[in-house]
């Protein structure tokens, strides 16, 4: 298990979840209710999944997280980050790219590679 999970959007680290901090009881209850609600089915793109597996749940929550980031909805961002980090302890990165022209969202859930802080270097020609 990794101690952190990082959410990257278009190559920029937006959020880092620290797994060493314990969730409050109310937050844990909220995540449990999320699971119960997803037990009734989820919508992934144009497809309704009646009995979602763990991968489908992770995709649904990651997409909800990206929508919340776009809407600047801090409460939903916090909840989705918490869900992904606690329910998927081996998840290290959520890497998302949004094509500004088409508004198409693509994301990967990375389980096998820690995020390394990167330094942007500019070269003058």
The rounded mean pLDDT for the chain is: 87
118: buried, middle or exposed (CB in 10 Å: 19+, 13-18, 0-12)? exposed
Sheet holding 4-9, edge to edge: 12-18, 4-9, 93-99, 104-110
For a pLDDT cut of 70, what percent of the chain falls above it?
90
pLDDT beyond 60 at 125: no
**Per-residue pLDDT band at 33 (split at 50, 70, 90):** very high
Predicted local confidence at residue 24, as pLDDT: 92
6, exposed or middle or buried, with CB in 10 Å at 0-12, 13-18, 19+? buried
Whole-prediction pTM value? 0.83
| Tens digits of residue pLDDT in 52-105 | 999 999 999 999 998 899 899 999 999 999 999 999 999 999 999 887 777 777
């Amino acid at each position: 298990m990794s101690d952190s999970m990082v959410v990257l959007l278009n190559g920029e680290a937006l959020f880092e979840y620290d797994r060493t901090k314990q969730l409050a009881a109310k937050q844990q209850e909220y995540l449990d209710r999320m699971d119960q609600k997803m037990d009734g089915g989820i919508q992934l793109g144009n497809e309704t999944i009646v009995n979602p597996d763990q991968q489908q749940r992770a995709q649904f929550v990651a997409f909800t997280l990206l929508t919340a980031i776009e809407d600047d909805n801090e409460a939903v961002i916090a909840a989705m980050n918490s869900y992904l980090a606690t329910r998927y302890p081996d998840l290290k990165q959520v890497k998302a790219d949004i094509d500004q022209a088409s508004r198409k969202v693509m994301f990967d859930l990375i389980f096998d590679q820690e995020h390394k802080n990167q330094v942007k270097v500019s070269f003058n020609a």
